[in-house]
């Protein structure tokens, strides 16, 4: 498909973000910003009762089209996935999700902000599970 199509898709997610808003109750809350511009993404996640999957996920944020569209697309992609799936998320996965392969270094930071937030949140949650007493 043409790069115009993907540009339109990114703008559509930016203007009409899917899964935008707070999630209550939630088990995971993570937030980060891009230090270059101050743009922010915060994600809230409800984990399934077996503590294994992303049952529900929402985000809020402010920033450029790529950072916000990436966060919105990522919430759609992550919903219903095992928590372990988050560990394998790569830069290439995100570029594929956005439908582009030609982002410069500054734009890559925009695209990866939401991944950083998602990984931070899930790793923190998993870390707390592993350190819980097992009795």
| Cα 57 from Cα 54, distance rounded (Å) | 7
For ligand FES, the closer of residues 45 and 113 by Cβ is 113
Taking CB under 6 A as the binding criterion, the range among 1-9, 31-39, 74-82, 121-129 that sits at the site for ligand FES is 31-39
User: Binding residue for ligand FES (CB under 6 A) from 10, 43, 57, 113?
Assistant: 113
| Cα 127 from Cα 129, distance rounded (Å) | 5
User: Binding residue for ligand FES (CB under 6 A) from 28, 39, 47, 83?
Assistant: 39
For ligand FES, the closer of residues 48 and 100 by Cβ is 100
Does residue 71 touch ligand FES according to CB under 6 A? no
User: What three-state secondary structure class fits 117?
Assistant: helix
Taking CB under 6 A as the binding criterion, the range among 21-29, 34-42, 116-124, 127-135 that sits at the site for ligand FES is 34-42
8 Å CB contact between 103 and 95: yes
Burial 89-115, CB ≥16 within 10 A → b, else e = beeeebbebbbbeebeeeeebbbbbbb
Does residue 67 touch ligand FES according to CB under 6 A? yes
User: What three-state secondary structure class fits 134?
Assistant: coil
Task: Summarize as ranges the residues that interact with ligand FES (CB under 6 A).
Answer: 34, 37, 39, 63-64, 66-67, 110, 113
């Amino acid at each position: 498909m043409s790069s115009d199509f993907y540009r339109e898709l990114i703008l559509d997610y930016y203007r009409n973000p899917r899964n935008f808003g707070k999630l209550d109750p939630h088990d995971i809350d993570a937030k980060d910003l891009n230090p270059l511009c101050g743009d922010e993404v915060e994600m809230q996640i409800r984990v399934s009762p077996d503590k294994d999957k992303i049952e529900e996920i929402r985000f809020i944020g402010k920033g450029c089209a790529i950072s916000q569209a990436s966060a919105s697309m990522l919430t759609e992609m992550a919903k219903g996935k095992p928590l372990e799936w988050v560990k394998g998320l790569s830069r290439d996965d995100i570029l594929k999700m956005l439908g582009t392969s030609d982002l410069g270094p500054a734009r890559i930071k925009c695209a990866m902000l939401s991944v950083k937030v998602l990984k931070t949140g899930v790793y923190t949650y998993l870390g707390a599970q592993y350190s819980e007493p097992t009795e």
